[in-house]
Amino acid sequence: MAGRRATARGDVNSVNPNELTLAEARDALKAKRLSARELTQAHLDAMAKARALNAYLLETPDRALQMAVVSDEKIASGEAGPLEGIPLGIKDLFCTHGVTTTAGSKILQAFEPHYESAVSANLWRDGAVMLGKLNLDEFAMGSSNETSAFGNVVSPWRRRGSDAPLVPGGSSGGSAAAVAAQLCLGATATDTGGSIRQPAAFTGTVGIKPTYGRCSRWGTVAFASSLDQAGPIARTVRDCAILLGSMSGPDPRDTTCADLAVPDFEAAVSRGVKGLTIGIPREYRVDGMPAEIQKLWDEGAAWLKAAGATLRDISLPHTSYALPAYYIVAPAEASSNLARYDGVRYGLRVPGKDIAGMYENTRAAGFGREVKRRIMIGTYVLSAGYYDAYYVRAQKIRTLIKRDFEAAYADGVDAILTPATPSAAFGIGEKASADPVEMYLNDVFTVTVNMAGLPGIAVPAGLDGQGLPLGLQLIGRPFDEETLFAVAQVIEDSAGRTALPEPWWA
Amino acid sequence: MSVDEKTVRRIAHLARIAVTDDEVGPLQGELNAILAFVEQLGTVDVSGVEPMTSVTPMAMKKREDVVTEGGRAADVVANAPETEDNYFLVPKVVE
């Protein structure tokens, strides 16, 4: 038995409130079959039993219950917002007013923002309830959640017949694990090179990185500003569409945030794929890809064809250069963004013999190994004599990667289907070798999307031979998340909603 | 290209990160592994290609030249390790 069904169908009153999807819970709240307080309490109880997963860095039960009470009042008085009473987890990269925000780093261990991130503020505006702050790789730099200064997240998934702990993926590992383990109805996440889609694929959840500029970056701790984008992780395509509708929208405080009205993403979910052309890029057929992933990819294509889409083989010739170019661009931007952590204005301070010594000691003690490594690579590629050879060249290659996609879309392709990850989840500590590149290869299928600023969604498509989830990725045109939701829904329907892990932790 | 120990120490200093003697060797190995990985970009023909400056074409946003926020000094310094009268305190810089 691989797992249990995602939700029990039928009478909402007969099921555990955490087993509802976000859409089902929303409808139950609206129909007053369930109160926000009950729903929130059920999640707080589940969180308390699931501390072994280390998904939440901070639980905020008092705030959650206060917000739930207000939601119940609003529902009673007919003033409910679109997410009224829906309990969510917030990745600890989003600044939350008066609630510690660490970015998974020792350097921000005691940081208490006096402002609220645009994305989380949009969710509260729409009535959502905050359950707590979710674990992540330090400053969102990682693909396994093993770089968090506050310990690994343990995936709720295990290989069949094994109790070896697995990674949930990263950097949004806490978000993905909490959603898969039913510790929230949905979670915020961020994606710089794959940090929403890879953990979603590893945990059998749905995650979308919208187009660069769809969500405001204001108040989200910056990693690489030209690549960072917020998005939701949830258990169904519809739930992701609902959450993205609330999270996104124009914001004058982020000059790269697009001044575009937010479409009705939920309405797009049921559009179907009839008449759409789906590109299958040959460059994603990489050497050494497990046969199971290839099979899943072929199956996904067959499902879309059966539902009325046209398949087309396409070429994205610069695909293989995206990951190395990313490891120049992202560290370069990170080295600049993380220069602000100097022990002066906020965060940790470690004294030194002079001010430079204070900076150096503060950053040596406050940053973990992966973060230091990336800051140093970024410093090197931006330093005199290397800037043109590394940084400018990488930005030119980024132009070429984007052109590949533009050519495919100009040729009539509506969306592109690829595997989400080159493997299923791996064990904690399994990729701790001296070569950091081994870990970086996890993002080989997702990073192209960030480099080109496009939207990408990961949707569960099946389980591998060991009973672990595998996901497919769809890549869309700029600001056409609606097509991604429509296509992803067909995959979700065809695959049958992925089972959830057995709750061994509870 | 690869970095030697001296370069690792120089980069660490530029990045304002103190490194111990024990850390230099492993860091050198890790940085060189990353640099070896990105080496393949040298084979791409980029002649005549403009470097990307903005991933989505958009006009720079403009706003009225007015004060939008201010008078929140206490909020601004609230998380500072050391302050006095809403100023950040740092070790003496000028003798």
Q: What is the pLDDT of residues A298-329, one digit of tens each?
A: 999 999 999 999 999 999 999 999 999 999 99
Cα-Cα-Cα-Cα torsion A435, A337, A113, A350, nearest 10 degrees, comes to: 70
**Is A396 marked active-site?**
no
| Whether B17 and A375 lie within 8 Å, measured CB to CB | yes
Chain B residues in contact with A252 by the CB 8 A cut-off are: 61, 63
Q: Which of A35, A71, A91, A335 is catalytic?
A: A91
Shortest distance between the Cα of B26 and any Cα of chain A, in A, equals 8
A395–chain B Cβ distance below 8 A for any pair: yes
Nearest neighbour of A383 by CB, restricted to B14, B27, B63: B14
- What is the per-residue pLDDT for A209? 98
Q: What is the mean pLDDT of residues A217-236?
A: 98
Give per-residue pLDDT as tens, A343-372: 999 999 999 999 999 999 999 999 999 999
Q: Which of A105, A171, A175, A216 is catalytic?
A: A171
- What is the per-residue pLDDT for A14? 59
**Is A91 marked active-site?**
yes
A396–chain B Cβ distance below 8 A for any pair: yes
Give per-residue pLDDT as tens, A377-422: 999 999 988 999 999 999 999 999 999 999 999 999 999 999 999 9
Poorest-pLDDT segment among A437-441, B8-12, B37-41: A437-441
Pick the CATH number of B5-42 from 3.40.50, 1.10.20, 1.10.10, 1.20.120: 1.10.20
Shortest distance between the Cα of B57 and any Cα of chain A, in A, equals 10
Give per-residue pLDDT as tens, A44-64: 999 999 999 999 999 999 999
Q: Looking at chain A from residue 116 to 155, which residues have their Cβ under 8 Å from any Cβ of chain B?
A: none
Q: What is the mean pLDDT of residues A154-175?
A: 97
Q: What is the mean pLDDT of residues A24-53?
A: 97
Helix (H) or strand (E) holding A61: helix A61-76
Asked whether residue A3 carries a pLDDT value surpassing 60, the answer given is no
Domain boundaries, chain B: 5-42
Asked whether residue A6 carries a pLDDT value surpassing 80, the answer given is no
B66–chain A Cβ distance below 8 A for any pair: no
B24–chain A Cβ distance below 8 A for any pair: no
Contact A178, A213 (CB under 8 A): no
Q: How far apart are CA A103 and CA A105, in angstroms?
A: 5
- What is the per-residue pLDDT for A499? 79
Give per-residue pLDDT as tens, A257-275: 999 999 999 999 999 999 9
| Whether A478 and B52 lie within 8 Å, measured CB to CB | no
Q: Which residues contact A304 (CB under 8 A, 6 or more apart)?
A: A273, A276, A278, A311, A417, A487, A490, A491
Cα-Cα-Cα-Cα torsion A361, A363, A365, A367, nearest 10 degrees, comes to: -170
| Whether A327 and B61 lie within 8 Å, measured CB to CB | no
Q: How far apart are CA A317 and CA A298, in angstroms?
A: 21
Which domains are assigned to chain A?
12-276+422-495 (3.90.1300.10), 278-319+395-410 (no CATH), 321-388 (no CATH)
Poorest-pLDDT segment among A47-61, A85-99, A438-452: A438-452
- What is the per-residue pLDDT for A498? 67
